[in-house]
Amino acid sequence: MIRIATPADVPVIHQLIRDLAEYEKALDEVRATPEQLHEALFGPRPAAYAHIAETDSGEVAGFALWFLNFSTWRGVHGIYLEDLYVRPELRGGGHGKALLTELARLCVARGYERLEWSVLNWNKPSIDFYESLGARPQDEWTVYRLTDEALKGLGS
């Protein structure tokens, strides 16, 4: 049901990213191209990794795209899950749980001590799902982000 993504999966990963952005009401913010995804996932220095969830018939049900982070407090790597998405018509089939289980398995096997991600505050179905697996919100932290003109202004 879960497998490591291959270069042939880039088009479907790109489409699923667009589907996720549409679900999150932010499709206009997606700028990534299939070529960029290919380079990030399969270039000479991969910056991210992906797993694919498939149905029994081999249909792509969803994906998880992640990268390594590092905890200065724990002194080890962890996984930051950038995107987790299962097609709406295939939700409830265990694909999301299987993707998270695989990432948790990787953490345990490699000695990583954290599996982290962000979820939109309004996305109650996802929050309920994550909490059912034992995940807990980190309410004492607020995510900050520099992008576009603010990033260019500070970096210039």
Pick from 106, 96, 142, 145: nearest CA to 121: 142
pLDDT in tens, the chain (156 residues): 999 999 999 999 999 999 999 999 999 999 999 999 999 999 999 999 999 999 999 999 999 999 999 999 999 999 999 999 999 999 999 999 999 999 999 999 999 999 999 999 999 999 999 999 999 999 899 889 899 999 999 999
Q: How far is CA 110 from CA 39, 68, 72, in A?
A: 24, 11, 17
Annotated active-site residue 130? The verdict is yes
Query: Which residues, including other chains, have CB under 8 Å from residue 13's CB and lie 6 or more apart?
Result: 5, 37, 41, 50, 52, 63, 65
Of 23, 112, 130, 144, which residue is the catalytic one?
130
